[in-house]
Amino acid sequence: MKRVYAFNEGNASMKDLLGGKGANLAEMTRLDFPVPQGFTISTKACLEYLENDKQLLEELKNEINQAVSAMEETTNKKFNDPNDLLLVSVRSGAKFSMPGMMDTILNLGLNDENVEKLAKLTNDERFAYDCYRRLLQMFGNVVYEIKMDKFEKILNDTKNKNHIHYDSELSADLLKQIVLDYQKVYEEELGHPFPQDVYEQIYAAVEAVFSSWNNQRAIVYRKLNNIPDDLGTAVNIQEMVFGNKGDDCGTGVLFTRNPANGENKLYGEYLTNAQGEDVVAGIRTPVSITRLQEQFPEIYEQILDLTDRLEKHYGDIQDVEFTIEQSKLYILQTRNGKRTAQAAVKVAVDLVHEGILSPKEALMTINPESLHTLLHPAFDPKAVDNSPVISKLGLPASPGAATGQIVFDADTAKSWADEGKEVILVRHETSPEDIVGMNSATAIVTSQGGMTSHAAVVARGMGKCCVAGCSELEINEEKKQLQYPGGTLKEGDIISVDGTSGCLYLGEIPTIAGGANENFDQIMDWAREYATLAIRMNAETANDIENGLRFGAVGIGLVRTEHMFFQEDRLIAIRRFLLAKDKELRANILEKIKEYQTEDFTHIFELMQDKPVVVRLLDAPLHEFLPHAENEIANVAKVLEIDAESLVDRIHAMQEINPMMGHRGCRMGMTYPELYLTQAEAILRSAIKFAKQGISVKPEIMIPLVSNQSELKFLKEEIKAQLDQVLEEEKITVDYSIGVMIETPRACLIADQLANDAAFFSFGTNDLTQLTFGYSRDDAGKFLNQYLETGVLKDDPFQTIDTDAVAELVETATNKGREIDNQLKIGVCGELGGDPRSIQHFHKFGLSYVSCSPYRVPVAQLAAAQATISNL
Amino acid sequence: MKRVYAFNEGNASMKDLLGGKGANLAEMTRLDFPVPQGFTISTKACLEYLENDKQLLEELKNEINQAVSAMEETTNKKFNDPNDLLLVSVRSGAKFSMPGMMDTILNLGLNDENVEKLAKLTNDERFAYDCYRRLLQMFGNVVYEIKMDKFEKILNDTKNKNHIHYDSELSADLLKQIVLDYQKVYEEELGHPFPQDVYEQIYAAVEAVFSSWNNQRAIVYRKLNNIPDDLGTAVNIQEMVFGNKGDDCGTGVLFTRNPANGENKLYGEYLTNAQGEDVVAGIRTPVSITRLQEQFPEIYEQILDLTDRLEKHYGDIQDVEFTIEQSKLYILQTRNGKRTAQAAVKVAVDLVHEGILSPKEALMTINPESLHTLLHPAFDPKAVDNSPVISKLGLPASPGAATGQIVFDADTAKSWADEGKEVILVRHETSPEDIVGMNSATAIVTSQGGMTSHAAVVARGMGKCCVAGCSELEINEEKKQLQYPGGTLKEGDIISVDGTSGCLYLGEIPTIAGGANENFDQIMDWAREYATLAIRMNAETANDIENGLRFGAVGIGLVRTEHMFFQEDRLIAIRRFLLAKDKELRANILEKIKEYQTEDFTHIFELMQDKPVVVRLLDAPLHEFLPHAENEIANVAKVLEIDAESLVDRIHAMQEINPMMGHRGCRMGMTYPELYLTQAEAILRSAIKFAKQGISVKPEIMIPLVSNQSELKFLKEEIKAQLDQVLEEEKITVDYSIGVMIETPRACLIADQLANDAAFFSFGTNDLTQLTFGYSRDDAGKFLNQYLETGVLKDDPFQTIDTDAVAELVETATNKGREIDNQLKIGVCGELGGDPRSIQHFHKFGLSYVSCSPYRVPVAQLAAAQATISNL
């Protein structure tokens, strides 16, 4: 097993082995980019280390030593060599980019002797000691887990004592003292000094990077981003170049296009006389990349040229780290750039128009899940005009608009959000420790840091609204309050955050639906062109239906008729029905219900016209329609003119121990067929109205919770007989069909039997998941979170399909159904119908469509297209 | 397609096509038995008729006509022929014997002219008109559904008017008048006369038999006896012979051995000068078959010879109908005799000893389900001596002992039983209309009819205690009371019925466990010898365990530990645990619980010694241990010294919407691992006590409700670590293992994953069935009965395995488990483990054992042997 690869031994396709960063460094080396030389220790070596009780194998040490020798030859530098001193950086690099999650150490190779050699070599004592103190600080923190505060305090105390504002103003002598003080911290905290042996430094750094794969924040990030735990991370060891050697030096981060809006213009920041950490950490506020043109015009040209080549080479927007060492440019890293959904859409379309990508390739560059952020509501502009401004000085770090209560720490953010509150996390600057809280917040606000600060990068990745670096805010995290020019806010106060403009407002601002633009439309057009799966929506209100149509839904996959009964007059009608004592009365009420329902379906068909509409017949347990609170019972008894006691008796008789598995769905249809017949007739009579105008509406009547063939057969035949009689009376035809909702494990296993009677299948993935696991979704909270946190479950099976069992049942049912009818229309109307990862499976099984909530239609559409493209 | 078969065209193997009766008539014809000649219309013709909108096809009519012609040739008789008049009977005959269910018509071929010819031919006008009036009566009732009362009233009025007691005393003239009156009934009821054309009579009778396949009582019988609905019935048309031609005539029914106790002696009854219906209907009380020896000694000898041959030929006890016509014996029918479990066991053993059957064949003659009647308790003899007697004159028609409230009609029997009452159905005599009520009753008592009456035959078939023909009882079904020599009883009064002795007692009598005898032991020995499946019991009390061991259980398949917590002191302990606020307190309570449980398991191992014992760790939802009624809450709060309000809060917090799918089983084990560890340690510490005495008890620790691999892996590793530490401390070994209960569909589908960690599987068929169907067993009553009655479900899936889906999941899991570990021990501990039909499937899937309640162990044992034998 080969564990170590020199940069010139790899290429971009080796991400599994070399990690994303290592593969890209190898690729750039291959392309003759100005990359500092080095080597990569593979992810396999990491896994080997973790499995080997965290012991660094001798074999690995040997390979590292050999690679160092080779590097010494290529660079013409040597460890400890007073004439050509080699220093290196050690950086983690997993397969998937995990910003801020893994750790970096710079300037390895320095020790008490080498720092003097460096001073002589560079003729810059200040620079040499600054490098050393950075190494001591990073190494101590990363390798030995010494708190960063310990070092920061020494640094700040020294600055304060000497009335110094910027680190760069520290003199060599002061830095020497700092180095001595830092070394004391080692003795105090660890009982042993900083290791002077360079190889010992490297081994320890490699072990630290390897171990950091399993640190808490890495685990959380992976969970949030669905990255498997068993990949491991690579380690990149690279010759140091210095952005902090003087004013002809600098370091920066740039995107080849604007990651917020996709504009095709270099976008980024840099700092002169600084090392990389200074930019990302947001400690000094960097300047815009455009300023580089004035300061280093030649380098700017070189960057323009290199980034253009990089973008063409990778076919995607690039996120590049660079360093200028004494007017020479080095590219330290490139990777596909994280971006907002808006930018992703624009960049994808632009790259196609620029001839860099084909539409198929462009579709693959967009994360479907991110699209819904595009559709999120923005603030109503009129309301914004009347809202008191907190600040307009923030950076628009991640677009969107959100209102919520402010909190000042991640834990409170999480716990308030868990209580159902909308919270806005306000921090000086965020750090990886805040990830969970950021994920819980609806928006993030910081007073420090730029567009590439931790808060900004992470928020964009999460698709969360973020305003960064709003320096007008004086935040007191301890007192949980903030001061702004106009006043003071404390924990729990409501503010509104506009991540698109960077503005903050007092109080709540109403929102309007998020707008899609022509780029979005273009992406959706391409997605529709490539997707095999059709996308429908789950909807019954006019508002939802209009949204879904706007987003391109080609039909309705689920009308939930029980929702229609919760309006007051309807609720009274259904209650009267349930409590009626004689047949005649019952028949009268059904007439009334038929009128209501005919009205409901007419509204739906009016909007849907000739697009197919699946209507699910009543599914809810009937007792849900009955009152339960004491005063409510009295009221209802009064309205229905019956005595409260017999109402209570009836309610008790209808109560169930496990209502989810009780008398509902088609089981209720079997005991009250007249209810189903009434609904079916209402559907048909609505359809007839349009048929008479020559509009062929397509109702698809769905029978829920079937678990055996006779239920379906009986109800289908009863309904068909009734509807065909109506059609005969009306002398008209309607293209209706009767199908079945597949939501019990048994329905999956007898799908061949069901296919004999069903015109279509639609999977109800919620109930199917509940029954397959035996988890009541209403109750699973008691253990499901724990299961997710401890990894008993990798994913929440109600959010993404369980591939081991539920997916297998879906596949079995699909195959069995298609054995009987190879044209059988099969859809998904459960919540998983809008989940991109689940859609991959539904595509693979050959389903006809998925149905989801209107705002998820574009997500599903793109996911469906990607599923098709990646299986072409 | 051939629809009609002459008796000499068939044989005993053709039951599917000719029905049981037809195949046996053909077989007896083949063996040259004295069988009246005729032919059989096949079951296929019946299905064809039912599918063809109940239209008799011309093809069938032609085949019937041809068969009649052939019959006329064989018998030398002809329809309408004044010299050799042919009369026929028409009888139904399905594949499975369905006593009293289907209809018979005798004397077809008579009409207004032929009755005179018959009178002349036989020189017996009285006989001829008696035959004609019987035909009119049966034909009217069976074919035209004219109520039997209409005819009975005319008959009884005539008898009363003429002071006649027995039908046989009616003169020819009176019978002529009765025939005229009967014919008026036809005109009044139908508006048309009795059909004079003989072929028309036959066609109509055939149609009536065909249609009767789907009459209500036939459907109910089939459902109760698990006979498929799609078999159809054959029709047998046979030359009439007459047991009512005079005193040298007679008719009877006999069993080749005593069907109540198995004694090897002819057993039966006959009536002189009577037709068959008179015996079975219990209208006249017949005399014992032994009397035949005096009355017709030659015929008695002939019968002894024939029945001996029949028994040897069929290898089973035979139920034979015969007729003596003018001193000539005819065998009308033979079939395997229904018998009590006691008789079945004795006959099976005797037939082996007599060299007629091999043990394997003998095992196949016993209905496993019937065995549990053998084990039912009998009355405590001492208590019987002190109980007031109602009557000792009843016939011991079906053994057993039962106490209950008397009711006088089948509907009340059903509705009271549905309310959970034990009822005893008391009737003059039962009829097929009473089947449902009989099934609901715990015992049946009649005042009329013999050992072969409807009540007796059906009760034995059902394995229900029955006392028949208790003539001392004067029953008033209308007033719902009965008089007996010592007093009056009314509906709801409690009596005790001893079906083994035929005695009735006032009030309740305590029972003692039913005794098995040496024949039973012999059968069980053979069954164990042949069965591949081992039989365990579900038990945790000493009483249950002792019973199960007595019945041959080879281990315990399920100890339900939650049952152990419902004793008061234990309940308090578990409540304290659930409500404890600090860890220390909790640990103390667990120590107490460990003591309790150690005691529990010690008792169990003491009884089981080195037999394997599966202990299921706590499975019930924890809130089941908390109080729910208001006063109970107050009490508990007092005992636990906490305030009621916080107790209520805790109870609310633990309440679940669907507890069946909630926080229970291993999910609770995951949140409170200390509870499972405590239980596991208690199991081990009990085992260690025996290990120290050199007894190797075999605890099998079962983790319930697993639905993913991590649950099992985590809990298994935690438990194993703890137990191995204890073993190390104690320096001893115990042969314990840790396995998994398979009861969610997902567990079945990931059984290969589970097999990596599980030492054994045990299927929990109740939960598996609930989840596969999505039926909450607690709530399914709202629709399940309707589903069974209307045939939506063929069987209750909680009583016999659902072959379409649940069985498939069991098979899948078994195969997946065995792929990983081909020696994996796999059992069933759900209720279906004791169901003979389900056991057939479990055998086929290759399971290791089934486990059931102790009283069902012999049932399961025999079913397991039969499964093996029938698959040899």
pLDDT of residue B460: 67
Cα distance between residue B570 and residue B566, in whole Å: 7
Q: Mutating which of A661, A768, A812 best tests the B interface, going by the most B Cβ atoms within 10 A?
A: A661
Active site (catalytic) residues of B: 454, 829
pLDDT of residue B455: 86
Q: Which of B209, B263, B218, B268 is nearest to B42 (CA)?
A: B209
**Partner-chain residue, chosen from B662, B663, B774, that has the shortest CB–CB distance to A744:** B774
Set of chain A residues whose Cβ sits within 8 Å of the Cβ of B804: 708, 746, 749-750, 753
Q: Give the minimum alpha-carbon distance from A752 to chain B in angstroms, rounded to a whole number.
A: 11
The pTM of this model reads 0.77
**Residue A575 located in a structural domain:** yes
Q: Which of B650, B651, B706 is nearest to B676 (CA)?
A: B706
Set of chain B residues whose Cβ sits within 8 Å of the Cβ of A744: 772-774
Q: What is the DSSP string of B344-397?
A: HHHHHHHHHHTTSS-HHHHHHTS-HHHHHHHHS-EE-HHHHHTSPEEES-SEEE
Both tokens of B425, joined, read 């159905």
Cα distance between residue A702 and residue B260, in whole Å: 55
Cα distance between residue A371 and residue A350, in whole Å: 17
Q: Which of B767, B748, B751 is nearest to B830 (CA)?
A: B767
Has residue B100 got a pLDDT over 60? Answer: no
Has residue B651 got a pLDDT over 70? Answer: yes
Both tokens of B16, joined, read 């599917």
Structure-model confidence comparison of residues A855 and A661, the more confident one:
A661
B410 & B547 share domain: no
Q: What is the pLDDT of residues B29-46, one digit of tens each?
A: 999 999 999 999 999 999
Q: Give the minimum alpha-carbon distance from B165 to chain A in angstroms, rounded to a whole number.
A: 51
pLDDT of residue B512: 66
Q: Which of A139, A852, A195 is nearest to A539 (CA)?
A: A852
Cβ atoms of residues B19 and B96 within 8 Å: no
A501 & A587 share domain: no
State which of A311, A339, A367 marks the end of a domain: A339
pLDDT-derived band at B500, boundaries 50, 70, 90: confident
State which of B339, B361, B386 marks the end of a domain: B339
Contact yes or no for A660 and B661 at CB 8 A: yes
Q: Which of A801, A671, A659, A706 is nearest to B804 (CA)?
A: A706
Has residue B514 got a pLDDT over 70? Answer: no
Full domain range(s) for residue A245: 241-339
B331 & B393 share domain: no
**Residue A614 located in a structural domain:** yes
Cα distance between residue A637 and residue A644, in whole Å: 5
Contact yes or no for B753 and A804 at CB 8 A: yes
The mean pLDDT of B415-433, rounded to a whole number, is: 88
Has residue A333 got a pLDDT over 90? Answer: no
Q: Which of A239, A197, A259, A233 is nearest to A50 (CA)?
A: A233
B457 & B329 share domain: no
Q: What is the pLDDT of residues A85-134, one digit of tens each?
A: 999 999 998 888 775 556 789 899 999 999 999 999 888 899 899 999 99
Cα distance between residue B744 and residue B771, in whole Å: 7
Both tokens of A809, joined, read 């049942």
Contact yes or no for A705 and B656 at CB 8 A: no
Cβ atoms of residues A5 and A42 within 8 Å: yes
For chain A, give the mean pLDDT.
Answer: 90
Has residue B807 got a pLDDT over 90? Answer: yes
**Residue B13 located in a structural domain:** no
Contact yes or no for B806 and A746 at CB 8 A: yes
Set of chain B residues whose Cβ sits within 8 Å of the Cβ of A791: 710
pLDDT of residue A283: 58
Contacts of A88 by beta carbon, 8 Å cutoff, 6+ apart: A38, A71, A108, A109, A202, A237, A238, A239, A240
Contact yes or no for A792 and B710 at CB 8 A: yes
- Residue A833 DSSP symbol: G
Cα torsion A40, A46, A47, A52 to 10°: value is 140
Set of chain A residues whose Cβ sits within 8 Å of the Cβ of B658: 658-661, 776, 778-779
Q: Which of B632, B635, B380, B601 is nearest to B508 (CA)?
A: B380
- Chain A residue with CA closest to B794: the answer is A710
Has residue A7 got a pLDDT over 90? Answer: yes
B472 & B544 share domain: no
**Residue A109 located in a structural domain:** no
Cβ atoms of residues B119 and B111 within 8 Å: no
The mean pLDDT of A792-816, rounded to a whole number, is: 95
B678 & B807 share domain: yes
**Interchain CB contacts (distance < 8 Å): A and B:** 172
Task: Report which residue type is found at B538.
Answer: N
**Residue A144 located in a structural domain:** no
> How many CA atoms does the CB half-sphere of B104 hold within 13 Å?
21
A457 & A590 share domain: no
Has residue A357 got a pLDDT over 90? Answer: yes
The mean pLDDT of A579-596, rounded to a whole number, is: 88
Cα distance between residue A742 and residue B805, in whole Å: 14
Has residue A258 got a pLDDT over 70? Answer: yes
Both tokens of B93, joined, read 């005959």
Set of chain A residues whose Cβ sits within 8 Å of the Cβ of B779: 656-659, 661-663
A688 & A550 share domain: yes
Contact yes or no for B746 and A773 at CB 8 A: yes
Cα torsion B247, B251, B256, B257 to 10°: value is -80
pLDDT-derived band at A514, boundaries 50, 70, 90: low
A542 & A668 share domain: yes
The mean pLDDT of A364-373, rounded to a whole number, is: 86
pLDDT of residue B566: 73
pLDDT of residue B370: 81
pLDDT of residue A397: 82
Most confident of A333-342, A425-434, B585-594: B585-594
**Partner-chain residue, chosen from B714, B792, B805, that has the shortest CB–CB distance to A792:** B714
Beta bridge partners of B78: B85
> How many CA atoms does the CB half-sphere of A488 hold within 13 Å?
5
Contact yes or no for A804 and B671 at CB 8 A: no
Which range (A407-416, B76-85, B609-618, B643-652) has the least confidence? B643-652
**Partner-chain residue, chosen from B657, B670, B707, that has the shortest CB–CB distance to A773:** B707
Contact yes or no for B771 and A776 at CB 8 A: no
B474 & B398 share domain: yes
Question: What CATH number is attached to the domain comprising A326?
Answer: 3.30.470.20
Element (H, E) at B238: strand B233-239
Set of chain B residues whose Cβ sits within 8 Å of the Cβ of A802: 746
Residue B29 main-chain phi, psi, to 5 deg: -60, -45
Work out the number of other CB atoms within 10 angstroms of the CB of residue B354.
12
A826 & A680 share domain: yes
**Residue B367 located in a structural domain:** no
Q: Give the minimum alpha-carbon distance from B224 to chain A in angstroms, rounded to a whole number.
A: 20
Q: Give the minimum alpha-carbon distance from A418 to chain B in angstroms, rounded to a whole number.
A: 16
State which of B310, B339, B368 marks the end of a domain: B339
Contact yes or no for A657 and B749 at CB 8 A: no
Q: Give the minimum alpha-carbon distance from A416 to chain B in angstroms, rounded to a whole number.
A: 19
Has residue B95 got a pLDDT over 90? Answer: no
Number of structural domains (chain B) is: 3
Cα distance between residue B800 and residue B803, in whole Å: 9
Q: What is the DSSP string of A644-692?
A: HHHHHHHHHHH--SSGGGSS-THHHHHH-HHHHHHHHHHHHHHHHHHHT
Residues in chain A: 872
A334 & A394 share domain: no
Active site (catalytic) residues of A: 454, 829
Contact yes or no for A809 and B658 at CB 8 A: no
- Chain A residue with CA closest to B715: the answer is A792
Element (H, E) at B751: helix B751-755
The mean pLDDT of B618-640, rounded to a whole number, is: 82
Q: Which of B485, B463, B315 is nearest to B390 (CA)?
A: B485
Q: What is the DSSP string of A106-167?
A: EEETB-TTHHHHHHHHHT-HHHHHHHHHHHHHHHHHHHH---HHHHHHHHHHHHHHTT--SG
Q: Which of A249, A242, A246, A221 is nearest to A233 (CA)?
A: A221
- Residue B401 DSSP symbol: E
Q: Give the minimum alpha-carbon distance from A276 to chain B in angstroms, rounded to a whole number.
A: 42
Question: What CATH number is attached to the domain comprising A770?
Answer: 3.20.20.60
Q: What is the pLDDT of residues B159-211, one digit of tens each?
A: 999 998 877 788 999 999 999 999 999 999 999 999 999 999 999 999 999 98
Contact yes or no for B782 and A750 at CB 8 A: no
pLDDT of residue A221: 79
pLDDT of residue A430: 86
Beta bridge partners of A495: A404, A506
| DSSP 3-state percent helix, strand, coil across chain B (nearest 5) | 50, 15, 30
Burial of A19 (0-12, 13-18, 19+ CB in 10 A): buried
Beta bridge partners of B573: none
Contacts of A127 by beta carbon, 8 Å cutoff, 6+ apart: A118, A119, A242, A244, A245, A246
Set of chain B residues whose Cβ sits within 8 Å of the Cβ of A753: 804
pLDDT-derived band at B317, boundaries 50, 70, 90: very high
Cβ atoms of residues B746 and A743 within 8 Å: no
Contacts of B761 by beta carbon, 8 Å cutoff, 6+ apart: B739, B740, B741, B742, B751, B754, B755, B813, B814, B817, B824, B825, B826, B827
* R_g (Cα) of chain B, nearest Å: 32
pLDDT of residue A452: 67
- Sign, CA torsion A453/A455/A458/A460: negative
Cβ atoms of residues A254 and A289 within 8 Å: yes
Q: Give the minimum alpha-carbon distance from B540 to chain A in angstroms, rounded to a whole number.
A: 26
Contacts of A652 by beta carbon, 8 Å cutoff, 6+ apart: none
Work out the number of other CB atoms within 10 angstroms of the CB of residue A655.
14
Contact yes or no for A792 and B705 at CB 8 A: no
The mean pLDDT of A234-241, rounded to a whole number, is: 94
pLDDT of residue B123: 86
pLDDT-derived band at B281, boundaries 50, 70, 90: low
Q: Mutating which of A664, A707, A777 best tests the B interface, going by the most B Cβ atoms within 10 A?
A: A707
Question: What CATH number is attached to the domain comprising B406?
Answer: 3.50.30.10
Angle between helices B518-530 and B341-353 (to 10 degrees): 70
Which range (A156-165, A458-467, B141-150) has the least confidence? A458-467
Residue B186 main-chain phi, psi, to 5 deg: -60, -45
**Residue B800 located in a structural domain:** yes
The mean pLDDT of A637-649, rounded to a whole number, is: 83
**Residue B355 located in a structural domain:** no
pLDDT of residue B114: 96
Cα distance between residue B394 and residue B444, in whole Å: 11
Has residue A382 got a pLDDT over 80? Answer: no
Has residue B705 got a pLDDT over 70? Answer: yes
